[in-house]
Amino acid sequence: MRRERRAFTRIGAFWRRYDIALVGGSVFAFILLITIFASAVAPFDPMGRNIKNRFAPPSSANIFGTDQLGRDVFSRVIYGGRPILSASFSAVFAALALGMVIGVAGGYIGGPLDTGLMRLMDVMLSFPSILLAILIVATLGVGQLNVTVAIGFSMVPIFARLVRSIVITLVHEEYVLAARSLGASDGHTIWRHILPNMLPPIIVQASAMLAVAIGTASALNFIGLGVEPGTPDWGMMVAEGQRLIFDAPHVPLFPGLVITITVLSVNYMGDGLRDRLDPKLRRQGA
């Protein structure tokens, strides 16, 4: 009986501390699963047209109503997460990988290499991320792959600067100095001693940048620089429905609402990861 009470007490304490983070993570996981299994969840073909049923309001037959071509908005919202989320995850992963290489090289080796790399990162940071992404897409051309490249490229300096600052601190730690004095190679020292200790802040930063990537991808698709017109996509759906805001407000409302909920859920999840992984915040809560 005491064990059960202790378990419930621990669960209650954990919930009180991370309630928003748990809700955010659960909501995002739900959206992610629905998007992945869209073909099994969506009740209609997202591209299927029914002109006779155009602008139908939300009902039991069409939960989110239909758009100007009679397409089911609910089915399109379910499928619409695929280009946004795939581009966002790919962009953050690519930016994280390249940023870690640049940050570790600059912070561990130092010298002229560090100066040159950081000045390049400063130049990239001088442009607002959304403006830099638009510039890259305009240069490479319209397309989902180019949107992914643009978002990832604009995030590289953020990860690079963070990783560099962490590495500069870690290289002076006693365990790193001891490993190097014992003859450990640079690769071994980085892999066994530096990389594991810089993962927590990197994970927190990656979760924050995922929310930014989702918003940026939606914005680029909204202005027509991503997917082709007609493709189920949250940003594109809002763009197509903006002129219908007074006649059929449900058309842009639901995809816009899903974008907002997704970004908020990722932000809350990131806050929870920060509280969990940041040792300073853990000590304050202890």
Q: Quick one: pLDDT at residue 230?
A: 78
Confidence of residue 162 (pLDDT cuts 50, 70, 90): very high
Q: Quick one: pLDDT at residue 126?
A: 87
The rounded distance, in Å, linking the Cα atoms of 34 and 255 is 14
Over residues 191-201, mean pLDDT: 84
Q: Quick one: pLDDT at residue 7?
A: 53
Q: Quick one: pLDDT at residue 195?
A: 86
Helix axis angle, 234-241 relative to 195-222, nearest 10°?
30
Q: Is the pLDDT of residue 1 over 80?
A: no
Encode pLDDT of 214-236 as tens digits.
999 999 999 888 888 778 999 99
In the chain, % of residues over pLDDT 90: 42
> What are the boundaries of each domain within the chain?
80-285
Report how far apart, in Å, the C-alpha atoms of 186 and of each of 43, 112, 120, 203 are.
Answer: 55, 18, 24, 23
- Classify domain 80-285 by CATH number: 1.10.3720.10
CA atoms within 13 A on the CB side of 140: 19
The rounded distance, in Å, linking the Cα atoms of 187 and 103 is 15
Confidence of residue 279 (pLDDT cuts 50, 70, 90): low
Neighbours of 128 (CB within 10 A): 10
HEC-encoded secondary structure of 73-134: HHHHHHHHHHHHHHHHHHHHHHHHHHHHHHHHHHHHHCHHHHHHHHHHHHHHHCCCHHHHHH
Over residues 93-97, mean pLDDT: 95
Q: Quick one: pLDDT at residue 79?
A: 95
Q: Is the pLDDT of residue 12 over 60?
A: no
DSSP 66: B
Q: Quick one: pLDDT at residue 3?
A: 59
Encode pLDDT of 15-63 as tens digits.
556 567 788 888 999 999 999 999 999 999 999 888 888 888 998 888 9
Over residues 151-156, mean pLDDT: 92
Q: Is the pLDDT of residue 280 over 60?
A: no
CA-wise closest residue to 186 among 130, 105, 253, 261: 105
The rounded distance, in Å, linking the Cα atoms of 256 and 252 is 6
As a whole number, the mean pLDDT across the chain is 85
